[in-house]
Amino acid sequence: METGQPSETVREAVGVFATGDTFEAAVDDLMSSGFDRAELSLLASERTVEATLGHRYMKVSEVEDDAAVPRRAYVSTESVGDAEGGLVGALLYVGAVAAAGAIVASGGSLAAAIAGAVLAGGAGGVAGSMLAALVGDAHARRIQEQIDHGGLLLWVRTRDADREKRAVDILKRHSGRDVHVHALPAE
């Protein structure tokens, strides 16, 4: 007989961090202790949470155990830096190659092609730098909006009691607040 209730649950450890540094230290410790990046999730942006839930939240503690709250995958600060560098490098390269190709195709000399590549590459690099700044700013805004609402919320999926204990110990060791384990319906 079907009751409409989910038969399986997912257990996860939850913690709230006051600073980006304590949050990152906890994540680093979790990953070096055998937890996979795919087992870590964070609260989605304030706008996404509001759109999904239909209301604003005042404190992260209001949503930490809500199965309906939208989440996002963990992205390390280094990955954000890599994305910024990729944007700068890609636009610098594309600009330089396009300019050099256009000059050579129109019958220009090698010196003109090199000069054009340098100028266009520089312009592409500037455009890439502006886009990279936007990526970094968006990441910083998401972190700050959560801190403004009480802290950075981190969920860690666990497979068994041993991993639950390990996750809770790590979250507490790195100044996690309101650290606990909860069960949510499996997706």
Domains observed in the chain: 9-75+143-185 (3.30.70), 80-135 (no CATH)
Report pLDDT digits (tens) over 47-64.
888 888 888 888 888 889
Strand segments, DSSP code E, in 44-151 are 71-73
Residue with tokens 């886009």: 131
Contact 146, 60 (CB under 8 A): yes
* pLDDT on residue 44: 86
CA of 179: how far to CAs of 13, 20, 36, 46, 156, in Å?
Answer: 7, 17, 19, 22, 11
Smallest CA-to-CA distance from 132 within 86, 79, 93 is with: 86
Report pLDDT digits (tens) over 138-153.
556 677 787 788 888 9
Q: Could you tell me the two tokens for 162?
A: 């041993």
